[in-house]
């Protein structure tokens, strides 16, 4: 899988917001924000093919968690990205 290449992550104040630059008018009901960890992972995954193991590896290598926890967190992140249509089809 891959992140949608038409989306941009922007930092606005303390928030990390996914922006669709093709929208003329921003629909605030469809704004997706990321926490610091998810924003870091988003940046690590830009432009590459990845799977749950890659995401878990990023989490495991950069945060003080067991690999089993990193896998659970990666699963949740992929589910959220998929639900919000942030992945390429």
User: Each residue's pLDDT tens digit in the chain (89 positions)?
Assistant: 999 999 999 998 889 999 887 765 555 556 789 999 999 999 999 999 999 999 999 999 999 999 999 999 999 999 999 999 999 97
Is residue 19 within 8 Å of residue 42, measured between CB atoms? no
pTM: 0.87
CA distance 5 to 47: 7
Give the model's pLDDT for residue 21. Answer: 76
86: region left, alpha or beta (phi > 0 left; psi from -120 to 50 alpha): alpha
Any alpha helices (H) in the chain, and if so which ranges?
A: 36-45, 52-62, 67-83
């Amino acid at each position: 899988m891959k992140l949608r290449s038409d989306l941009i992550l922007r930092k606005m104040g303390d928030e990390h917001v996914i922006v669709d630059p093709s929208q003329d008018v921003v629909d605030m009901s469809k704004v997706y924000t990321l926490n610091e960890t998810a924003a870091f992972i988003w940046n690590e995954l830009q432009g590459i093919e990845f799977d749950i193991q890659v995401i878990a590896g990023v989490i495991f290598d950069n945060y003080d968690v067991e690999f089993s926890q990193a896998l659970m967190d990666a699963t949740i992140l992929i589910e959220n990205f998929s639900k919000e249509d942030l992945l390429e089809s």
